[in-house]
C-alpha cells in the first residue's frame, strides 16, 4: 500500500444548488462557494467535490449536461469557476469535478444531431433500436427513475435508451469517436488544473450488446435489467483506455460511483496494480434497508448486518484497493435521521456516526450540512418537492391506489430532497442561504440547526468534526492502519481496533494470510504497540462494552468522546445513548 494525498485527505461534497446563493435568485452558485472556503478550511477538509456545474436544463439538477465546456448560467460564469479553483488552490486544497458521461441531456448538441436522422454522423453516439415486431419497446428494462428505459422518437421511428429520465439519453461507449470526444473533454478540464473526478454511475457505461429482455420482478413492475448494464462486459476495457489516454498523465484522484459492486468487483476497478480508479462508492451499506434493490421499499436493518458489510469491505480492500467512507450524499436521506436519532439524541448520534466514518480505513467524505447535523425534512405535501425521482415515484404510487399520506411517509424516509434542502447558515429568514425565494424550501428546523450556532458552541457537531479531522491528521494509523472488528454479533455496539499496518496483497495465499492473522493476534497482545480502540453505541439504550481479553495494554488515553467524560478504563465501559469513544491503547 502506498501513501497518497487522497488517502490522507478528507473530502467535502458541495451540492452547489443548495450551498449558498450570492445573487438572490434562490439558487446556490459558484461565488457562494468561494465565499465559504474559509469556513471549509476551518473545518479541516482539504478536497472539495463539486456536483455538476456544467450547462444543463436541470431536469436532474445538472446530471443532465447539455454542454460539458460551459458553466450553468444559474451558477455563474467560467471566470467565477476559475476564481473558485484558484482560491481553493491558494488554500492548499484540491478540487474534484463531477464527470457525467454515462448519459447527456437530450438538449446536448450530440443528441440533437443524433435524433435528427438515422444516418446522422452522431446517430451512433447514443443507443437507438427499432421496436419489437409489435412496435413495443426493444426490451423490458425499467428506468431507474420509473417507467420504461426506452423512449420512442417519432421523427426517425426508433427508440433510444435512457437508464435515468427520458431527458438523459445513454451514450454509446462502443463508439470510438464518442470515447475520443470524452477523453478530449476530460483532458481540457484537467489542463485547467483540477485534481480529479467523481465519475457518475461509471460502471453503467458498458451494456450487454444484445440488450436482452430481463426476467420480470413480480406483478406489474418492469424488471431493472441491471444484470445487463452494471459492470458490463467492456467496462474494464473502457476504464483502462481512459486511464492510459487521460488519467495516467496527472496526479489526480478518481472516485467512481458504482451501484451494484461487491468487494470483488470493486477490486477489479481499484486494485492498485490495475490502474483504473483510485476508489469507488459502493452502495451495499446504504442499500441494507432496501427490499430487492428498490429504495422505495423499506425494510428494517440490524446493526450486525451493517457491521458485516463494513467489515467485508474493510477486509477485502485491505492491501489491494482503497475504501471511500460515507453515509450521506445528495441522493441519500440524511444519515442522522436514518442511522441515528434526529430527535433527543441528534447531536450525540451525529457525532457518533461521524466517528465511524472518520476512523475506518479509507477516505472520509462529508456531505454539506452533515457537519452541523442537518436532518431529513417532512414537507406537508408533494408540491414542496423538486426531485424528479421523488415526483415520478409519487405519481406512480398514487396511480397504484395509495393515499397521498401513505406515499409521503415513504418520501420522508427516502426522498433525495432530504439531502438537498438548502444549507442552514444562520437563523435569519431563508437560513442565510438566499435573500430571494429558495428553489427548494428550507428545512423548518433551521432556527435550531445552523452554522452560526455550531461555530459559537464548542460542543457542537461542527467542532467535533474538526477534532476528528485533526485526529486523523495526527495519527496515520487511523488512515492506513489495519482494521479488526470486535463483537461482530452485538446489536448495540460497533467496536473495532486499528493497528499498525501489516502488509498483505492481492497475491497472498491462504497460508500467508493465516500467518498475517497470527501476527495480528500478537499485535493485540503486544502492549508496546499502540492501537486505536473505537467503541460506538448505535442505540438509544445504555450499553456495556467489555474489551476482549486478547487485547493487552498498559496505558490508555481517551482521544475523543461525544459526551462529557469520566474516568474509566476501556476494559469495561458503560456507554450512554449513541456514545462514541476513541482510545489510544499502549
Ligand atoms: C447518480 C447521481 O448521483 C444522481 O444524482 C443522478 O440522478 C444519477 N446518477 C444520474 O446521473
* 201 CB near ligand 1 (under 6 Å): yes
Using most ligand atoms within 8 A of CB, pick from 200, 282, 388, 389 the residue to mutate for ligand 1. 200
Same domain, 97 and 115: no
Same domain, 576 and 436: no
Using most ligand atoms within 8 A of CB, pick from 52, 56, 63, 324 the residue to mutate for ligand 1. 63
* CATH assignment of the domain containing 302: 3.20.20.80
Kindly calculate the radius of gyration of the chain based on its CA atoms and give it in whole angstroms. 24
Of 437, 465, 493, the residue at which a domain comes to its end is 465
State the residue for C-alpha cell 475523543.
Answer: 560
Same domain, 379 and 291: yes
Per the structure, the complete domain to which residue 487 belongs is given by 480-585
Query: Per-residue pLDDT for the chain (586 aa), expressed as one digit of tens each?
Result: 788 999 999 999 999 999 999 999 999 999 999 999 999 999 999 999 999 999 999 999 999 999 999 999 999 999 999 999 999 999 999 999 999 999 999 999 999 999 999 999 999 999 999 999 999 999 999 999 989 999 999 999 999 999 999 999 999 999 999 999 999 999 999 999 999 999 999 999 999 999 999 987 666 678 889 999 999 999 999 999 999 999 999 999 999 999 999 999 999 999 877 778 999 999 999 999 999 889 999 999 999 999 999 999 999 998 889 999 999 999 999 999 999 999 999 999 999 999 999 999 999 999 999 999 999 999 999 999 999 999 999 999 999 999 999 999 999 999 999 999 999 999 999 999 999 999 999 999 999 999 999 999 999 999 999 999 999 999 999 999 999 999 999 999 999 999 988 766 556 677 777 777 777 777 777 777 789 999 999 999 999 999 999 899 999 999 999 999 877 899 999 999 999 999 999 9
Of 130, 161, 192, the residue at which a domain comes to its end is 161
Cα 52 to averaged position of ligand 1 atoms, centre (Å): 10
Q: Is residue 473, in this structure, part of any structural domain at all?
A: no
Within 443-509, residue ranges assigned H as helices are 451-456, 461-474, 476-480
* Contacts for 224 with CB less than 8 Å, ≥ 6 apart: 141, 142, 144, 214, 217, 293
* 63 CB near ligand 1 (under 6 Å): yes
**Would you mind telling me the total number of residues written for the chain in this entry?**
586
Q: Is residue 472, in this structure, part of any structural domain at all?
A: no
Same domain, 349 and 430: yes
Q: Answer for the pair 517, 394: CB distance below 8 angstroms, yes or no.
A: no
The rounded distance, in Å, linking the Cα atoms of 310 and 301 is 14
Of 441, 465, 489, the residue at which a domain comes to its end is 465
* CATH assignment of the domain containing 500: 2.60.40.1180
Same domain, 324 and 346: yes
Torsion sign (Cα): 76, 386, 13, 323: negative
The rounded distance, in Å, linking the Cα atoms of 103 and 48 is 24
* 283 CB near ligand 1 (under 6 Å): no
* 200 CB near ligand 1 (under 6 Å): yes
Cα 465 to averaged position of ligand 1 atoms, centre (Å): 27
pLDDT digits (tens, 9 = 90+) for 86-132: 999 999 999 999 999 999 999 999 999 999 999 999 999 999 999 99
pLDDT digits (tens, 9 = 90+) for 30-76: 999 999 999 999 999 999 999 999 999 999 999 999 999 999 999 99
Same domain, 97 and 154: no
Provide DSSP, 410-435. Answer: HHHHH-THHHHSPP---SSGGGGT-S
Same domain, 449 and 489: no
Q: Is residue 471, in this structure, part of any structural domain at all?
A: no
Same domain, 444 and 541: no
Catalytic residues: 200, 257
- β pairing state of 531-537 and 493-499: antiparallel
Angle, alpha carbons 561-567-568 (nearest 5°): 85
Same domain, 372 and 512: no
Q: Is residue 570, in this structure, part of any structural domain at all?
A: yes
Cβ count within 10 A of residue 294: 12
When divided into structural domains, the chain yields a total of 3
* CATH assignment of the domain containing 138: 3.90.400.10
Using most ligand atoms within 8 A of CB, pick from 164, 198, 329, 388 the residue to mutate for ligand 1. 164
Same domain, 153 and 187: no
Same domain, 27 and 136: no
Torsion sign (Cα): 200, 202, 204, 206: positive
Q: Answer for the pair 440, 406: CB distance below 8 angstroms, yes or no.
A: no
Q: Is residue 475, in this structure, part of any structural domain at all?
A: no
Q: Is residue 94, in this structure, part of any structural domain at all?
A: yes
Cβ count within 10 A of residue 507: 8
Q: Is residue 474, in this structure, part of any structural domain at all?
A: no
Q: Is residue 95, in this structure, part of any structural domain at all?
A: yes
Q: Check residue 523 and give its pLDDT.
A: 73
**Residue environment code for 4-13, b if the CB has 16+ CB neighbours within 10 A, otherwise e:** eebbebbbbb
User: Burial of 157 by CB count in 10 Å (0-12 exposed, 13-18 middle, 19+ buried)?
Assistant: exposed
Q: Taking the model in full, what pTM does it have?
A: 0.96
Same domain, 69 and 131: no
* 60 CB near ligand 1 (under 6 Å): yes
Amino acid at each position: 500500500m502506498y501513501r497518497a494525498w487522497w488517502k490522507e485527505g478528507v473530502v467535502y461534497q458541495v451540492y452547489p444548488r443548495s450551498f449558498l446563493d450570492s445573487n438572490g435568485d434562490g439558487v446556490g452558485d459558484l461565488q457562494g462557494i468561494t465565499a465559504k472556503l474559509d469556513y471549509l478550511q476551518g473545518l479541516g477538509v482539504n478536497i472539495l467535490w463539486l456536483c455538476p456545474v456544467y450547462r444543463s436544463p436541470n431536469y436532474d439538477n445538472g446530471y443532465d449536461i447539455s454542454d460539458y465546456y460551459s458553466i450553468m448560467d444559474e451558477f455563474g460564469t467560467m471566470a467565477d469557476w476559475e476564481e473558485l479553483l484558484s482560491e481553493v488552490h491558494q488554500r492548499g486544497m484540491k478540487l474534484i469535478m463531477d464527470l457525467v458521461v454515462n448519459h447527456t441531456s437530450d438538449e446536448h448538441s450530440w443528441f440533437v444531431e443524433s435524433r435528427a436522422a438515422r444516418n446522422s454522423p452522431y446517430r451512433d453516439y447514443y443507443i437507438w433500436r427499432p421496436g419489437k415486431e409489435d412496435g413495443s419497446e426493444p426490451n423490458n428494462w425499467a428506468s431507474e427513475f420509473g417507467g420504461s428505459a426506452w423512449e420512442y422518437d417519432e421523427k426517425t421511428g426508433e427508440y433510444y435508451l435512457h437508464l435515468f429520465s427520458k431527458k438523459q439519453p445513454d451514450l454509446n461507449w462502443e463508439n470510438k469517436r464518442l470515447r475520443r470526444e470524452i477523453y478530449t473533454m476530460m483532458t481540457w478540464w484537467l489542463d485547467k488544473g483540477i485534481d480529479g473526478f467523481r465519475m457518475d454511475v461509471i460502471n453503467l457505461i458498458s451494456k450487454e450488446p444484445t440488450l436482452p429482455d430481463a426476467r420480470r420482478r413480480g406483478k406489474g413492475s418492469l424488471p431493472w435489467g441491471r444484470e445487463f448494464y452494471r459492470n458490463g462486459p467492456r467496462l474494464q476495457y473502457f476504464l483502462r483506455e481512459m486511464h492510459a489516454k487521460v488519467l495516467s498523465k496527472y496526479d489526480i484522484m478518481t472516485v467512481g460511483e458504482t451501484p451494484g459492486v461487491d468487494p470483488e468487483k470493486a477490486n477489479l476497478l481499484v486494485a492498485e496494480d490495475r490502474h483504473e480508479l483510485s476508489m469507488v462508492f459502493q452502495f451495499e451499506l446504504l442499500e441494507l434497508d432496501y427490499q430487492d434493490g428498490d429504495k422505495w421499499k423499506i425494510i428494517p436493518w440490524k446493526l450486525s448486518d451493517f457491521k458485516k458489510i463494513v467489515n467485508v469491505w474493510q477486509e477485502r480492500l485491505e492491501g489491494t484497493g482503497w475504501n471511500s467512507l460515507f453515509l450521506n450524499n445528495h441522493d441519500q436521506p440524511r444519515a442522522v435521521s436514518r442511522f441515528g436519532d434526529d430527535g433527543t439524541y441528534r447531536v450525540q448520534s451525529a457525532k457518533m456516526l461521524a466517528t465511524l466514518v472518520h476512523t475506518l480505513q479509507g477516505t472520509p467524505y462529508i456531505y454539506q450540512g452533515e457537519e452541523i447535523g442537518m436532518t431529513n425534512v417532512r414537507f406537508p405535501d408533494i408540491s414542496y418537492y423538486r426531485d424528479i425521482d421523488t415526483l415520478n415515484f409519487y405519481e406512480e404510487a398514487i396511480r397504484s391506489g395509495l393515499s397521498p399520506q401513505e406515499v409521503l411517509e415513504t418520501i420522508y424516509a427516502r426522498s433525495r430532497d432530504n439531502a438537498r434542502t438548502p444549507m442552514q447558515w444562520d437563523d435569519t429568514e431563508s437560513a442565510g442561504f438566499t435573500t430571494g425565494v429558495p428553489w427548494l424550501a428550507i428545512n423548518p428546523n433551521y432556527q435550531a440547526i445552523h452554522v452560526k450556532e455550531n461555530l459559537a458552541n464548542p460542543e457542537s457537531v461542527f467542532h467535533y468534526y474538526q477534532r476528528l479531522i485533526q485526529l486523523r491528521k495526527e495519527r496515520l494509523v487511523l488512515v492506513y492502519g489495519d482494521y479488526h472488528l470486535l463483537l461482530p454479533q452485538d446489536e448495540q455496539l460497533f467496536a473495532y481496533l486499528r493497528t499498525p499496518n501489516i502488509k498483505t496483497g492481492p497475491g497472498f495465499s491462504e497460508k500467508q494470510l493465516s500467518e498475517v492473522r497470527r501476527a495480528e493476534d500478537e499485535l493485540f497482545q503486544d502492549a508496546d504497540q499502540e492501537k486505536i480502540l473505537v467503541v460506538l453505541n448505535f442505540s438509544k439504550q445504555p450499553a456495556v462494552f467489555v474489551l476482549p481479553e486478547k487485547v493487552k495494554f498498559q496505558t490508555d488515553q481517551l482521544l475523543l468522546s461525544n459526551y462529557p467524560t469520566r474516568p474509566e478504563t476501556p476494559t469495561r465501559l458503560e456507554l450512554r445513548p449513541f456514545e462514541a469513544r476513541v482510545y489510544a491503547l499502549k
